[in-house]
Structure 1
Amino acid sequence: MEFCDECGSMMHSDDGLWVCGSCGFEKPRDVENEADMTTTEDQDTDSGPVDMSEVDDAEIGPTTTVRCPECGNDRARYEMKQIRAADESETRFFTCTECDHKWREDDH
């Protein structure tokens, strides 16, 4: 696996080149270097929960288009959490990208 030097996205192989699907950056493949790469084949990928307690909120999560009830901004980061019984759907929590106001999907 190779990551783009320009934008950090995962690259794919195409005719002896590594090509970034996000920004189009290309670089030649290095067969000797690739022999030393670690793969995820036969690895346990379920290592349990990830501790995000010391990560700044600005670095967490994808964003979506949703109107902030506090300032009217139209972008917010979101995260899904299971706060009820396992047979009920997750709750989506939002954080405004402008004012950092926090709310959940079912708040009105």
Structure 2
Amino acid sequence: MSLVGALLFCNDCGGLLERCPASQANIDCDVCGKRNQNKWPTSITTESASTAFPSRLRDARSEIQVLSAEDRETWAMTTTACPQCANPEMRFRDVQLRGADEGSTIFYRCPACDYKFNTNN
């Protein structure tokens, strides 16, 4: 009988033997019928490293990530001109502050002069 890793094989035919409790001294081979000595280990410990399992997400991750101001900007851009400084683009955010049957409120912010105003739709 041959023990390979966590698998036990018959010495005569090479068939895979069923796992049996340690109290059972012999295991009969289902393929050839030969009686084999029970050499199953009582416990199996395996170890692996995270590098054994490739991950594109882990490869892309770094210890320190730096976000630019542009990465943190979550307001959408529109071509509405700023009434304060005439900047041709403004940032905006659409928020539903009133009931679902009423319009939303649009908040505008100028990236050049930081002027803010809102409109109700």
Shorter-chain TM-score bucket reads 0.3 to 0.5
Instruction: Determine which structure has the larger strand proportion and give its number.
Output: 1
Normalised to the residue count of structure 2, the TM-score between the two structures is 0.38
Normalised to the residue count of structure 1, the TM-score between the two structures is 0.42
